Chains A and B, each alone.
Chain A
Amino acid sequence: MGLVSATIEGIRAGVANGTATATSVAEQHYARIAADDGPSGKGINSFLALSRDRALAQAAKIDALAAKGDPLPALAGVPVGIKDVLTMTGSPATASSLILKGYMPPYDATAVTRLESAGAVLLGKLNCDEFAMGSSNENSAYGPVRNPRALDRVPGGSSGGSAAAVAAGFAVASLGSDTGGSIRQPAAFCGVVGVLPTYGRVSRFGLIAFASSLDRVGPFATNVRDAATMLSVLAGQDKKDATCSDRPVGDYVSAMEKPVKGLHIGVPAEYFGEGLDPQIRAAIERALDSLRSAGCEIKKITLPHTKYAIPTYYVIATAEASANLSRFDGVRFGLRADGVKTLSAMFRETRDQGFGAEVKRRILLGTYALSAGYYDAYYLKAQQVRTLLTRDFLAAFTQVDAIVAPITPTPTWKLGEKTADPLQMYLEDIYSVAASLAGICAMSVPCGETASGLPIGVQIMGPHFNEETMLRVGLAVETARG
């Protein structure tokens, strides 16, 4: 079984019929990580920690099930990596920050528990931007991640390690988190599939919080069917997360068999303006042509407040971050500055030593936006515009079943190219943040390459809690590309 072509169903079937064992599949993936992830290999730097004991114990359990001829669960023997903003006992949870260096969490995130209960073999923890703040994975305290498709370029962020590990064949699927584009953008940059489920669809218990009204957990995979299988395992109510919905979970796997003929696809004018790379525009247009050929009706729509999404996002996300990150103070977990004489000095020095520049910048911006005299002008205003942005989508979804648009204005850029100017980096999120603010589901599916071979992704957005339609459109794009 070749690693790159490994799929969830391929591995499950192989383990079931005895042509492979979960243990040998796990060892193959660890061998590839050992060869290529470190500085002596390709230096991709996607894994921060390996959970070999836990993975091999789980693989042995799956192999025992298979030997008895018992039915195997959906992810039996599938090697999966976990973004290091989710807790997993036995491995450190650092959020790629020095302030949590070596922190051993005392419980598993619900998403981690669900994957393991479905038979997944959890290989380890994946690099990301510090506290999931970034669009290039260059804000990690443990070094940047290289894009497996172009080693001198960024994998995107913040879930850069999660996208790179799947693209490099280190894992068959992975978990990421997406607050303003952190699953969809790296998926596009690395040429893999990334899904942002509807807000409330997947539990966030055990996710280290960045911006609580925006944070979501979702999967990466090499193809749309695998992403649907991952989502079917992850989705559903969790009593440990009050924001997690009790709505019935759709049958994402069966949805893959339903044709897209007759679906109405919206194309928002605001996503095709100045600044969109012409090669990306052409690739999206080819994807739309293939949907038209598959019997979809393509309609022009408008999402008039789109240009306000970035300023709205950077007020709300930083305000919430400044509150969430106040818990990192040297008292209960992680780093504590040495030699401090008083409590308040301990807070300040611990946070100064533990947080990187981008995290400090966002905490300062958020604290400013929430401070006396500015609250109404910034935070309240942004929350009002968030209502307008969400109404745009609610109105659009009365006319169309799904929306197709670019996810990034440009393909992946060179490491170090955009680190000097934080605002320039923020503007890269132009096509991803509106779906985050509105809480709708969205995904990125590979739809082509630039002339120099850099991956291009297309974004498919669906109504709240209608992941089935989104996934069907994603599969149609993927199938047409062949």
Chain B
Amino acid sequence: MADVAGVTMDEVLRVAELANLDLTAEEVPRMQHDLNAILRHIAQLNELDTSGVPAMAQVGEMLGAEMESTGATLRADVLLPSIDRKAVMAAAPESDGRFFKVPKVIER
């Protein structure tokens, strides 16, 4: 497992950037402290030898042949009612009724 010596302040900022989160100056050290405490607890997974153990992404795969949705049969390709576009667009912060409007995408 990864080195649990600790997440640095820079790493917290880097992860926040990846997650599109702006952290305030007070939040950064607090998050660093909390992440390190939690990661130290998580490090106990290192005690287990998991070589050769398959990764479980979802419950169904553990039930083997008993589980149904194998994708062997496809549903019929028929048109079903979908959600009303007007109702969807009405929930947007800014819209012309057909599209979502956002600020400038290209930054200069």
Contacts and interface: CB of A to CB of B under 8 A. Distances in A.
Contacts of B56: 383-384, 386-387, 390
B59 interface: yes
Contacts of B45: 308, 311-312, 315, 381-382, 385
Given A106-B84, A349-B22, A423-B38, 4 more contacts: A322-B19, A343-B103, A368-B15, A422-B38
Contacts of A314: 38, 41-42
Interface in A420-460: 422-423, 426, 438-439
A361 interface: yes
Instruction: Assign chain B's interface to a size class.
Output: 35 or more
Nearest to A341: B103
B91 A245 contact: no
Nearest to B7: A368
Contact of A103 (B43, B91, B103): B91
Contacts of B43: 311
A239 B19 contact: no
25 contacts: A106-B83, A243-B69, A311-B45, A315-B45, A322-B19, A329-B20, A342-B107, A343-B102, A348-B21, A351-B19, A352-B21, A361-B34, A363-B21, A364-B35, A368-B35, A371-B15, A377-B2, A381-B45, A382-B45, A384-B53, A384-B54, A387-B62, A422-B37, A422-B38, A423-B37
B55 interface: yes
Nearest to A366: B19
Contacts of B15: 364, 367-368, 371
Contact of B87 (A106, A329, A345, A380): A106
Interface of A: 103-107, 199-200, 213, 239, 242-243, 245-247, 305, 307-308, 310-312, 314-315, 322, 326, 329-336, 340-349, 351-352, 355, 357, 360-361, 363-365, 367-368, 371, 373-374, 377-378, 380-388, 390-391, 394, 422-423, 426, 438-439, 464
Given A331-B102, A385-B50, A438 B27 contact: no
B9 interface: no
A200 B69 CA distance: 11
Interface centre among A104, A310, A311, A378 (most CB of B within 10 A): A311
Interface string B55-78: 111111011000111000001000
Nearest to B71: A242
A336 B68 contact: no
Contact of A352 (B22, B37, B54): B22
The 5 closest A-B pairs by CB, nearest first: A439-B59, A106-B87, A383-B55, A336-B93, A384-B50
Contacts of B104: 341-343
B48 interface: yes
B91 A106 contact: yes
A384 B59 contact: no
Interface in B1-43: 1-2, 7, 11-12, 15-16, 18-24, 27, 31, 34-35, 37-39, 41-43
A213 B59 contact: yes
Nearest to A440: B59
A333 B92 contact: yes
B79 interface: no
A439 B20 contact: no
A364 B30 CA distance: 12
A245 B69 contact: yes
B50 A438 contact: no
B88 A360 contact: no
A409 to B, nearest CB: 16
**Interface hub of B38, B84, B107 (most chain A Cβ within 10 A):** B38
Nearest to B36: A423
A107 B83 contact: yes
Contact of B41 (A310, A346, A377, A380): A310
Nearest to B19: A367
A365 B34 CA distance: 9
Nearest to B14: A371
A390 B34 contact: no
Contacts of A315: 42, 45
A352 B17 CA distance: 12
Q: Which among B20, B41, B68 has the highest number of chain A CB atoms within 10 Å?
A: B20
